[in-house]
Amino acid sequence: NAGVTQTPKFRILKIGQSMTLQCAQDMNHNYMYWYRQDPGMGLKLIYYSVGAGITDKGEVPNGYNVSRSTTEDFPLRLELAAPSQTSVYFCASRRDGEAFFGQGTRLTVV
């Protein structure tokens, strides 16, 4: 099993550009999550999904969108990137409470 795979690992965006952060898991987990990690802060929940076709907002959803067309994939879309979206993004999945995280995507918006 590869676990949770995120791509890309690093990205620099210009203000106003858009991009999609990819996340895939091969463990057949229903629950998937996107978090952002800012310096000196705990991870914050952006969006989550309880299964294919079902998504819901977390604590900090503004400026982001998600989709869940399959159990495996949970991409995070940034439209009109802003400097405030400079962060490290983590995708995670959970089963029976246990959490599995991807390697993270370090995004800089300039």
Partner 1 sequence: KNEVEQSPQNLTAQEGEFITINCSYSVGISALHWLQQHPGGGIVSLFMLSSGKKKHGRLIATINIQEKHSSLHITASHPRDSAVYICAVGPGGGADGLTFGKGTHLIIQP
Place of tokens 């629950």: 31
Q: How far is the CB of 35 from partner 1 (least distance, A)?
A: 7
Task: Identify the residue among 24, 33, 64, 93 touching partner 1 (CB under 8 A).
Answer: 33
Interaction of residue 110 with partner 1, rule CB under 8 A: no
- CB nearer to partner 1: pick between 18 and 103: 103
Interaction of residue 62 with partner 1, rule CB under 8 A: no
**What are the E-state strand segments in the chain?**
4-7, 10-13, 19-25, 31-37, 44-51, 54-57, 64-66, 76-78, 87-95, 98-101, 105-109
Task: Identify the residue among 24, 64, 90, 109 touching partner 1 (CB under 8 A).
Answer: 90
